[in-house]
Amino acid sequence: MTRCSPVRGFGLAALLLSGFAVNAAEWAGDLTPIGTQDWNAARAAHLLERAGFGGTPEEIALYAAMTPQAAVRRLVYHKTIPNDLPAFDDSGAHDPGLEPFPPSRPAATDLAKKTGESLGVKVKPAGNRRLQPVADRFFYWLRASRLETHRLAYWWANRMLVTRRPLEEKMALFWHGHFATNEEKVRDYRKMLKQLELFQDKGTGSFRELLISVAQDPAMLAFLDAAVNVKGAPNENFAREIMELFTMGVGNYTETDIREAARAFTGWNFVDLNFVISPDKHDSMVKTVLGRSGNFDGVAVIDVILAHPVTAEYIAGKIYRHFVREDISPELRKALGAKLRDANYQIAPLLETIFLSREFYSPASIGTRIKPPVELVVSTYRKMGLKEIPGVPDFNEVTEMLGQILFYPPTVAGWAHGRSWITPGLLLARGNFVYDTVFPDINFLPPDRYPGNDYQIAAVSEKLAMGLDVTTATKPDAKEMTSISMQMADRDEDFNTRLASYRGWQMAIQKVKPIPRATAQLDLAGMVRAAGCRNAQQAVDVLLARFVSVPVEAGTRARIGKFLESELGTGDLSAAGTFLEEPLRSTLHLILSLPEYQLG
Amino acid sequence: MKPTIHLSTKSWTRRDVLRACLCGAGAGALNGMPLVFSRALAADATASNRILVVLELSGGNDGLNTLVPHGDDAYYRHRPRIGIRPDKLRRIDERFGFNPGMAGFEGLYKDGRMAVVHGCGYAQPSFSHFTSMAYWHTGAPNSGEETGWVGRLADAIDTQATPNFIVNIDEAQSLAVSARNHVPVVFDDPERFGRKGLYQTRPLLDQVSDATHDANPSRRYLLEVAKSARAASQLVRDAWAKYKTPVDYGIVAVDLPKIASLIAAGMPTRLYYTSYRHNAFDTHVQQPDLHQRLLTYVSDAVAGFMKDLQRIGRADDVVMLVFSEFGRRVPENTSLGTDHGTANHMYLIGKPVKGGHYGTPPKLDALDEGDNLVFTTDFRRVYASVIDGWLGYGDTRKLLSGNFQTFPIFG
């Protein structure tokens, strides 16, 4: 090891190698708290990696200087730490006329045909395309809500980056995947924000309270079609997902339990941003769920579910698998479940147990977790020392490409974790994210201003500006149109969908504020200089220690060192001081493209 | 212009096109790899040309409103509001007619290039999307099997574990292609399936450590995937860059043009897997318009793909299998939708297929206690038919852990 190091003379990879060799191999499955004598910088780094979004050398040193108990408590009981982060800066794209937003474009225009008005817009009294303003407004809100949701994702990612309570955001992200709702169906960024605030607020509190709040949360109610779950015609979707995905897991209830539970949730609905119960739609008769009978309402059914021992085990097991490792023994699952149930479903004590346990610091748990995309991106930025999520590359484009765009989980089951984050395509994309960060794309076009070719918006825009009539301007330019979908896309003469798509985009970008587009403010030269590095290999070692959680083979380390030396034309950093930055960026791209970098 | 493909919210931007051009320009500079590979392809192609493409419709497609049993009054009794009237259907015979949006499927059926297998399902059906889909993926309901049937098939018919033998186009790898020996090529966007990196960093970027004896299983996995990425990305990107088609695949092409491009380029891939993603077919509420639109997309895309194969000259070599994790409840619900159900049709499509009906349609007036169809055909019989009848691997008993009688679907 070299003398130069990120901060106060320690190198993470080296400590990982030495620090865990002692007796830690026997720690697997052991929930006993780690002793103060076993606490060190490498383990503090592991804690920050898992309970937060990775640590900078300064943060690692801070946590390493505490006792393990104090370090874990600081993360878990975070509400005492002041966190004066700015509130979401709303563009004000919504107005009351949009409520209730119709379920589809045909629903919006049909309503207008029937009543002369829809979405707060009246039908034109006469002339061509009388419903056009209604169709325009429908697309306006689709686009505006989506663009605002992308801004919301930026706001959240910035919190992850700079927060002093990393576990608050980490748990919010966990619950977002657990109670997955997707803006594409919810179609209202305000509901997504409200739900996120719920996760941030209650994410380490009582699971019972969280579950009830989620079951009454407008985003969730919209996502699982609560509106159609009414007396005499219960919709199973909601009850099924509550049991299968939110509390128990398959195999612990019957189809009858689902149908009965669905009855208890009848009449639960939302109006705009508020939860409402319609007494006339609620089935107040006796239901039998999981062997218990009563005049259950939704909260009562939730309590029946929580009383079932499998629920605490399911939740505790899922938290463990998310934060520690994928394989969990049945005994450990039982033990953690009992912990959660005995703590009256309080999440914080469970987290405290997990993060303090020897199990959490055993070799099987360290450096074996594939970082989910959002964690990969945010922790990369943190370790780069950034104070702001860059606008180039676009955070949402990057995370979508890597498979985890915020507010758009793929299904109600959330994101599949572990190895499913890595495919050949996704592995290359992870390296490309780093490339795009250290060498920002000069052809970058902001996706929140430039429409891509959604329904050929750009082409329609150009043709209209050249004076073409709407029919000609909106004709798709496929050479040979044989598919039914292309032919049917524009049959209604009361309005033109492609025109509406274009107008909706135009209206949305006028209303929704742009995302700032600063590139990453990186100073790698300053970073290695501050660490006291004198030669190329030392610089590589500092970067490896700062960024990579698992040991890299000696050959790889040396090859990267040689690469930097050859890029600099010298091994001596002081001779290369005036042109250090770019070679270091290439080097960092190499390091962060290593398969090993995906592990944390 | 290439057909637009957007299953996700993303679509192409001018920037992407610029990127594609840049990648194309850089490709030739890299180690002369394409040449070496194209020779290897030619050798492999003589072994067998037969290709299977699996298309998954995720979310539980409503089979009863896809191929409608208009000859059965019970259908209209169960579905007074969302049942599709006979005069609206694309009738294929006196019993069945396709959903009005499915001109493509109607044409394929009438051309004798589509086998419909009725009543496909399994005993003790799961009503969970994720569980049932896992059963279809593994081909082993209620068993805890960890590999997929396509993955096991690859291991069986290609014991050499030829690189690029399985291609799975998706955001994440499907359980269906999970294998013991093969590492499937998984990517979403062929233009982005390449590593960015400056010239001088290339040798290091392409280097992958040997991980055979690595104690960290996650690291071992990452290194294997890195090797697969290195072997496939250049080929896939080149194939896509070269591919130009006049065929209209419709609005949502379900990744089929990507597969066509790889077939056209002569990839050694024998097994392709793709899906209509994100539980799209989960139509609990306001089903009719939405479902018809989804079916139109699928039907357009499949018909386009078949036409494109003809153009490429590979129509005799490709069979497509279409399935969903379950059908839907027979009676409509009160929200103009349908809930999770059981048995469903499976479709085998392509020139090598002997078109027509196979299996027995389940009775609509003899439902189980949950108002669901009682399955008449174990879905693994269809897998076995393809494995044996099309890909020529006879030991389906071992592969599917059971004796599944095949249908004479192939000539």
pLDDT in tens, A254-305: 999 999 999 999 999 999 999 999 999 999 999 999 999 999 999 999 999 9
Percentage of chain A surpassing pLDDT 90?
A: 84
For A21, other C-beta atoms within 10 Å of its C-beta total 10
Predicted confidence at residue A225, as pLDDT, reads 87
Q: What pLDDT is stored for residue A234 in this prediction?
A: 85
CA distance A168 to A422: 26
Among B167, B204, B254, most A C-beta atoms within 10 A, so best to mutate, is: B204
Q: Which of A485, A589, A595 faces B222 most closely, judged by CB atoms?
A: A595
| A21 vs B: CB within 8 A | no
Sorted by where each begins, the domain ranges of chain A are 96-147+449-511, 224-307, 373-438
Are the C-beta atoms of residues B410 and B389 closer than 8 Å to each other? yes
- Tell me what the mean pLDDT of segment A576-586 comes to: 97
Task: Render pLDDT for B353-362 as a digit per residue (tens, 0 to 9).
Answer: 999 999 999 9
At residue A2, the pLDDT reads 43
Q: In terms of Cα–Cα distance, which of B255, B262, B347, B350 is closest to B310?
A: B350
- Contact between B10 and A560 using a beta-carbon 8 Å cutoff: no
**pLDDT reported for residue B24:** 35
Q: Which of residues 228-257 of A touch B (CB under 8 A)?
A: 228, 230, 232-233, 235-237, 240, 244, 250, 255
Question: Per-residue pLDDT averaged across A220-239, rounded?
Answer: 88
Task: Report the alpha-carbon distance of residue A7 to residue A17 in Å, rounded.
Answer: 18
* pLDDT of A453 above 90: no
> 3-state DSSP call for residue A561?
helix
Contact across the interface for B188 and A589, Cβ inside 8 Å: no
Q: Please, which residues 259-278 of chain A have a Cβ atom closer than 8 Å to chain B?
A: none
For residue B195, what are its two tokens? 């590593």
- Residue B8, pLDDT > 90, answer no
Q: Say if the Cβ atoms of B205 and A236 lie within 8 Å.
A: no
Distance from CA of B4 to the nearest CA of A (A): 9
Mean pLDDT score of chain B: 88
Say if the Cβ atoms of A559 and B370 lie within 8 Å: no
For residue B279, the chain A residues in CB contact (below 8 A) are 411-412
Distance from CA of A599 to the nearest CA of B (A): 8
pLDDT of residue B15: 37
Given A432, A453, A555, which is nearest B195 (Cβ)?
A: A432
pLDDT at residue B36 in the model: 36
Q: How many CB atoms lie within 10 A of CB B213?
A: 6
> pLDDT (tens digit, 9 = 90+) per residue, A307-328?
999 999 999 999 999 999 999 9
* Pairs of CB atoms within 8 A across A/B: 236
Q: Do the chains contact at B278 and A225, CB–CB below 8 Å?
A: no
The predicted pLDDT at position A257 comes to 96
What is the four-CA torsion angle of A523, A529, A530, A531, rounded to 10 degrees?
120
Mutate to test the interface with B, among A427, A461, A487, A582 (most CBs of B within 10 A): A427
Q: Do the beta carbons of residue B372 and residue B142 sit within 8 Å?
A: no
Q: How far is B40 from chain A (nearest CA, A)?
A: 21
| B333 to A233: CB separation less than 8 angstroms, yes or no | yes
Of B171, B221, B339, the CB nearest to A419: B221
Residue A461 touches chain B, beta carbons under 8 Å: no
Single-letter amino acid, residue A200: Q
Residue A342 has which token pair?
A: 């005995």
Q: Which of A232, A314, A235, A319 is nearest to A280 (CA)?
A: A232
B405 to chain A, closest Cα gap in Å: 30
**Nearest CA of chain B to the CA of A548: how many Å?**
13
Span A10-18, average pLDDT: 48
Q: Could you say which of A106, A422, A425 has the minimum Cβ distance to residue B193?
A: A425
Residue A480: the pLDDT is 56
Rounded to a whole number, what is the distance in Å from the CA of B202 to chain A's nearest CA?
Answer: 9
H or E element in which residue A260 lies: helix A255-264
H/E segment holding residue A175? helix A166-178
Least confident interval from A335-339, A486-490, A547-551, B308-312: A486-490
Instruction: State the best of B102, B131, B222 to mutate against chain A, taking most chain A CBs within 10 Å.
Output: B222
**pLDDT, tens digit, for every residue of B93-117?**
999 999 999 999 999 999 999 999 9
Using a CB-CB cut-off of 8 Å, the residues of chain A touching B204 are: 559-560, 563, 590
Residues 6+ apart with CB under 8 A from A578: none
CB count in 10 Å sphere of residue B155: 18
Say yes or no to pLDDT of A206 above 60: yes
ipTM of the complex: 0.89
Of the pLDDT bands very low, low, confident and very high (cuts 50, 70, 90), residue A416 is confident
* A556–B209 CB contact, under 8 Å: yes
Eight-class DSSP state of A281:
G
pLDDT of residue A166 exceeding 80, the answer is yes
Phi-psi domain of B161 (left: phi exceeds 0; alpha: psi -120 through 50; beta: other): left
Averaged pLDDT, A500-521 = 97
Contacts of A443 in chain B (CB under 8 A): 15, 18-19
| Window 284-313 of A, Cβ < 8 Å to B | none
A485 closest CB neighbour out of B171, B216, B251? B251
Q: How far is A452 from chain B (nearest CA, A)?
A: 4
Tell me how far apart the alpha carbons of residues A427 and B254 are, in angstroms, rounded to a whole number: 23
Residue B354's SS3 state is coil
Q: Which two tokens stand for residue A298?
A: 């939704």
Give chain B positions within 8 Å (CB) of A589.
Answer: 197, 201
What confidence tens digit (pLDDT) does each residue in B255-292 have? 999 999 999 999 999 999 999 999 999 999 889 999 99
pLDDT on residue B18: 36
Tens-digit pLDDT profile for residues A462-496: 999 999 999 888 887 655 566 777 666 555 579 99
Report the gap between the CA of B275 and the closest CA in chain A (Å): 13
* A489·B19 Cβ contact <8 A: no
Instruction: Work out the pLDDT band at B73, boundaries 50, 70, 90.
Output: very high
Cβ distance of B248 and A483 shorter than 8 Å: yes
Give chain B positions within 8 Å (CB) of A240. 127-128, 340
Taking only residues 120 to 149 of chain A, the set having a beta carbon closer than 8 angstroms to any beta carbon of chain B reads 146
Share of chain B above pLDDT 90, in %: 78
Residue ranges of A 503-532 with Cβ closer than 8 A to chain B: none
Length of chain B: 411
pLDDT tens sequence across B316-372: 999 999 999 999 999 998 889 999 999 999 999 999 999 999 999 999 999 999 999
Confidence of residue B41 (pLDDT cuts 50, 70, 90): very low
Q: What is the pLDDT of residue A456?
A: 81
Pairing of strands B318-324, B344-349: antiparallel
What is residue A474's predicted lDDT score, i.e. its pLDDT?
A: 85
| Beta strand pairing call for A268-271 and B318-324 | unpaired
Instruction: For residue A447, name the pLDDT band (cuts at 50, 70, 90).
Output: very high
> What sign for the dihedral angle of Cα B38, B41, B42, B43?
positive
Name residue B348's beta-bridge partners.
B115, B321
Helix (H/G/I), strand (E/B), else coil: A125: coil
Q: Is residue A82 less than 8 Å (CB to CB) from chain B?
A: no
Identify whether the C-beta of residue A18 lies closer than 8 Å to the C-beta of residue A38.
no
Could you say which of B126, B300, B340 has the minimum Cβ distance to residue A485? B300
Domains contained in chain B, CATH given:
14-399 (3.40.720)
Contacts of B14 in chain A (CB under 8 A): 445, 450
Average the pLDDT over A560-588 and give the result.
97
Dist CA B410 CA A104 (whole Å): 43
User: In A, which residues are within 8 Å of B194 by CB distance?
Assistant: 428
